[in-house]
Amino acid sequence: MNTAVFRFAPSPNGYLHLGHALSALINFEMARAAGGRFLLRIEDIDAARCRPHYEAAIYEDLAWLGITWEEPVRRQSAHLDDYRAALTRLDGLLYPSFESRGDIARLVAEREIRAPWPRDPDGAPLYPGDARSLSPAERRRRMAAGEPYALRLDMTAAIARTGPLAWIETGPGNETGSVAANPQAWGDVVLARKETPTTYHLSVVVDDARQGVTHVVRGQDLFASTGVHRLLQALLGLPAPNYHHHRLILDAGGRKLSKSTRATALRSLREAGTSAADIRRMVGLA
Ligand code: GLU
């Protein structure tokens, strides 16, 4: 039998909070129960928001919770060539779009004069532009001129290539077993930008395959993203792990916890005298 491989993959763009504690503990305990391996991955591709002191705090907070992981830790910023190689394999399905965030907001506002413009599962408007129809010469000219751009996946063409897809879900939510992937809900997702050869969706898929991850355990907020991940796995010829999307810890107002709230940061709780055993109780683990 092959060994099960689990991973916890935080971004060092703030201090870990109670939601991360729940995710890391569920992951670690599922790995142990399966006699499997547990990996830690630092998702630090967003250079503008990631900081070394947040990464150091991740190691401290997880160790304090009693979690141990294999070394070396994979840090995404050290593997940009892997993501570039994956982009090359998606050639023919990617196109550059040149609109700024402001341009996109304006385009959506214009479209919404007539009717509501479709949103992705996170509530962001689908790409409203028409960069897919720019001529190859125009694309080359604007890229050569140094204009900022985002590389988008032509979702219709991508789905036509793979056909319908599904993933195996073992999480506690309503949808379990074989779940139909719905990547079209995200429109033409951005997979890279001029200054960074990847985004969350691409690097998570490449890394899970590189690291031989067999079980992805993460919060319910990433359930719908799994459709995009499954599509990228199929396009890149990568194996599909099993998925387990667990419940989220919500604040008093019913919202997802935020890294900017001090009150639920593991670090502040520890400094205030909370023990690791208290944290387990606070996140609802016996
Ligand atoms: N880095 C992501 C986050 O911190 C998690 C990625 C994943 O588990 O797929 O939300």
Pick the catalytic residue: 230, 259, 264, 269?
A: 259
Condensed to tens digits (0 to 9), the pLDDT of residues 247-285 reads 999 998 999 998 888 889 999 999 999 999 999 999 999
Condensed to tens digits (0 to 9), the pLDDT of residues 212-250 reads 999 999 999 999 999 999 999 999 999 999 999 999 999
Q: How far is 4 from 23, CA to CA, in rounded Å?
A: 17
pLDDT at 203: 98
Residue range 1-78+249-286, CATH number:
3.40.50.620
Sorted by where each begins, the domain ranges of the chain are 1-78+249-286
CA of residue 22 to ligand 1 center, whole Å = 13
CA of residue 43 to ligand 1 center, whole Å = 7
Condensed to tens digits (0 to 9), the pLDDT of residues 94-135 reads 999 999 999 999 999 999 999 999 999 999 999 999 999 999
CB atoms within 10 A of CB 215: 20
Condensed to tens digits (0 to 9), the pLDDT of residues 46-81 reads 999 999 999 999 999 999 999 999 999 999 999 999
Q: At what angle do helices 80-89 and 225-236 cross, to 10 degrees?
A: 70
DSSP H/E element including 39: strand 37-42
pLDDT at 167: 98
194 has catalytic annotation: no
This prediction's pTM: 0.96
Condensed to tens digits (0 to 9), the pLDDT of residues 178-217 reads 999 999 999 999 999 999 999 999 999 999 999 999 999 9
| Ligand 1 pocket test, candidate residues 73, 200, 228, 229, most atoms within 8 A of CB | 200
- Give, as one character, the DSSP assignment of residue 257: P
Mean predicted lDDT score pLDDT of the chain = 97
| Ligand 1 pocket test, candidate residues 218, 228, 229, 248, most atoms within 8 A of CB | 218
pLDDT at 1: 66
pLDDT at 262: 83
